[in-house]
Amino acid sequence: MGFCSYSNEFSQSSYTNVENQFIQKYMVLGEGDAVKVYLFGLYLCQNVQGDYSLAEAARTLNLSEQVVADYFRFWEDFDLLEIVSYEPFSVRYFPADYSKGKPKRIRSEKYADFNKALQSLMPKKMISASEFMKYFSVMEEYGIKPEAMLLIVRYCIDLKGENISANYILQVARNFAGEGATTVEQVENKLTDYVVRSDELVAVLRAMGSSKAPEPEDHKLFKKWSEEFGFDKSAILYTAGLIKRGGTARLDETLTELYANKKFGEAEIKEYLSGKAAVRNLTISVAKELGVYCAVVDTYTDNFVSGWLAAGFDGPSLLQLAKYCFRREKKSFEKMDELIQKLVSLGVVSAESIAAYMEAEARERDFAGEVLRAAGVARRVNNWDRDCLRNWRHWGFSDEMILKAAALAEGKASPVPYITSVLSSWKAKNIFSPDQIAASDAVQTRRPEKDEKEEEAKRRVQSYYFNLREKAQDRADHYRKLAEADREFSQNEELLRTTEIELAKAEALGGDVKTLSDQLRRCRESRVSILERLHLREEMLVPQYRCKKCNDTGFDRNGNVCDCYRKFVSEASADRRLETILDAYSDIDI
């Protein structure tokens, strides 16, 4: 003992701490005097610093020394304390959570009658001491009465025979206890319910081609199907007849899926399952056309094909698109999905619209090639060329006018941007036909010749905007590669895309839209956190053009000059390089 101590007055005015774990978990297990002994022992540990004997404690508690010692042994069974010695009597307390996960020491003598009855149920089998302890442990842990456990054992023996394993019986007992059957009356009621349902379950098992007798787990599943899910017996039997492998576990998966999709009648079930088989076969066919091996077909069905069908595509169209993707070296479901999402955004879904779109794209490609040749460019047509062509058409120029602009671009350093510049100039002057070009040229010949200087200035402006766009794209590509190198981001990206597809299916075909919407929201929130960890933001993954109005092209979608174009020219106008162009655009309200 240290050189400092509490006075008796201080100790009497102090407190004794009792752990909540003891109150919640252990106190209800002991009698009133047992709890009294435990609390008094805590009081002695925390407040009494001198010697205090078992006899003194017994007198204070008005109990005999033997009873006090017995109650300490009772709490020792729970590992809440340890009796260090009996002479002199000494106890060491442990924290109430010290025994967490440790089994209560079981006094086997209290189960002597149970042991005899259990052995009599299995006269041909000698039950070992360790098996008896397993029974004791389950009864103690789940509060199963010995007589109730014997009823469960008898049921299992009738079901499986005397050589049944103790582990099987104990698992059935745990299941019974989990459903609230721990007394003789409760177990009898449950077994009566089993008998009532046995004929129905036998019919279900026979429909699946099984000759086994119904087991407790089968009864539990049948209750779920009929009571929780609400399937009638005929629907369960019909579905069971479609299940030839996997037993009741497979039947449970199928009925759970039917319940989630709100298919309860035989006609609904037949239509849904036959449609699902057709979608699965379609997935296999698409995979063959793509040259892809599907290790788990259902994964590709759920993540891709079902979503495509929900978007409005039919099977033959998907097969044709798969062939197209194979020829274009897009040999994966992911690449094909990118194409399909693009078509959906354009409203191209039906077979007729897909054919018309492809034919139009082919004509556009051919004409874009003709434009490049007219401009003296020998390379193949790329996506940028097609985008430019679409933009020129949007401005209202005919193929003839585009080809004339291309002819003017021959020999220029950047022919395609030059065509854009020429067409934009014509649009500003309301020139949309060859006759108007001729009239404009007649006027221009009367003006001083400044063509070379203007062309040089135009090239510099075009180069300036080209570099801006390239830098924006390069930055976005750089940041996206950094993000995709992170495993958590890549997994989130995949989950986000999968969830969006599942949500689209649920909205189109019916499903748990709320759950999927919540999951999508969590994915997006998680994506923000991941990007913050990587010191990135969502907008950094896409090109951030300096000018949001024209996306660093110098012209808006209507062909009008942008403010940034004016600013660039004005800041670089020491020699008034683009004076003529600015005059032409001066009356345009941008």
What pLDDT sits at residue 11? Answer: 63
| Beta carbons of 433 and 505 less than 8 angstroms apart | no
**pLDDT averaged over the chain?**
82
Alpha helices in 63-183 (DSSP H): 65-76, 112-121, 129-142, 146-160, 166-178
Tokens linked to 195: 């008998």
* 374 vs 381: CA distance, rounded Å: 13
Query: Phi, psi at residue 413, to the nearest 5°?
Result: -65, -40
Check if the beta carbon of residue 318 is closer than 8 Å to that of residue 300: no
pLDDT of residue 103: 47
**Confidence (pLDDT) at 12:** 67
Question: How far apart (Å, rounded) are the C-alpha atoms in residues 471 and 450?
Answer: 32
Q: What is the largest CA-CA distance in the chain?
A: 130
pTM, to two decimals: 0.38
**DSSP letters of 428-472?**
HTT--SHHHHHHHHHHHTTS---HHHHHHHHHHHHHHHHHHHHHH
CA 431, chain centre distance (Å): 56
Q: pLDDT value at position 497?
A: 84
Nearest alpha-carbon partner for 546 in 456, 480, 477, 475:
475
pLDDT bracket for residue 377 (50, 70, 90): confident
pLDDT at 555 (0 to 100): 80
Contacts of 356 (CB under 8 A, 6+ apart): none
Distance, CA of 511 to CA of 505 (rounded, Å): 8
Q: How confident is the model at residue 590 (pLDDT cuts 50, 70, 90)?
A: very low
The amino acid at residue 573 is: S
Between 561 and 13, name the one with better pLDDT. 561
Q: Taking the CA atoms of the chain, what radius of gyration do you get in angstroms?
A: 42
Domain boundaries, the chain: 8-99, 108-182, 192-260, 271-349
239-249 pLDDT per residue, tens: 888 887 778 88
In a 3-state reduction of DSSP, which class is residue 346? Answer: coil
Instruction: Kindly report, residue by residue over 189-238, the tens digit of the pLDDT.
Output: 888 877 767 778 788 888 888 877 777 788 788 888 888 888 888 888 88
pLDDT tens column, 9-29: 666 677 888 988 888 878 877
Instruction: Give the mean model confidence (pLDDT) for residues 308-316.
Output: 87
Name residue 120's beta-bridge partners: none
Closest CA to 258 of 243, 197, 246: 243
pLDDT in tens, 454-510: 666 676 777 677 777 878 888 888 888 888 899 999 898 888 888 888 877 777 677
Indicate whether 575 pLDDT > 70: no
**C-alpha–C-alpha distance, residues 202 and 214, integer Å:** 6
pLDDT of residue 9: 66
**Integer angstrom CA distances of residue 29 from 32, 109, 142:** 10, 19, 13
Structure confidence at residue 334 as a pLDDT band (50, 70, 90): very high
Residue-wise pLDDT for 97-123, tens only, equals: 654 444 455 666 778 889 899 999 988
- Residue 478 parent element (H or E): helix 451-484
- Are the C-beta atoms of 418 and 412 separated by less than 8 Å? yes
* CB contact set of 204 (below 8 Å; sequence gap of 6+): 222, 236, 237, 240, 248, 251
Is the pLDDT confidence value at 521 over 80? yes
Within 30-95, strands assigned E span 81-86, 89-93
Residue 173 has, within 13 A of its CA and on its CB side, a CA count of 31
Fold of domain 8-99 = Arc Repressor Mutant, subunit A (1.10.10)
As given in the structure block, the two tokens for residue 570 are: 């004005």
Q: What angle do helix axes 399-409 and 415-428 make, rounded to 10 degrees?
A: 130
**Rounded to a whole number, what is the distance in angstroms from the first to the last CA of the chain?**
92
